[in-house]
Amino acid sequence: MAIKPAYIKKIGNRLLERYPDAFTSDFDHNKEVIGEVTNVESKGVRNRIAGYVTHKKRAPPA
């Protein structure tokens, strides 16, 4: 079963809206935060969301 990119982006953007100060540009920290604030049980999905959030935090604001 493939993880749809739209699903990852939707959850990532929603988490960034709800918890803007909880995330940093550190992948491992974001992975821990996502584990605490969501009920995502799959390690792969959690890592994909953390990677997307980390990417968004590292990118300069547009």
Q: Where are the domains of the chain?
A: 5-58
pLDDT of residue 16: 95
- CB distance 30 to 36 below 8 Å: no
pLDDT of residue 62: 63
The answer to whether residues 15 and 53 touch, using CB atoms and an 8 Å cutoff, is yes
- 7-54: pLDDT as tens digits: 999 999 999 999 999 999 999 999 999 999 999 999 999 999 999 999
Q: Which tokens hold the place of 3?
A: 């993880």
**pLDDT level of residue 60 (50, 70, 90 thresholds):** confident
Per-residue pLDDT band at 4 (split at 50, 70, 90): confident
- Using a 10 angstrom Cβ sphere, with 0-12 exposed, 13-18 middle and 19 or more buried, the burial of residue 35 is middle
pTM metric for this prediction: 0.88
Return the CATH class of domain 5-58: mainly alpha
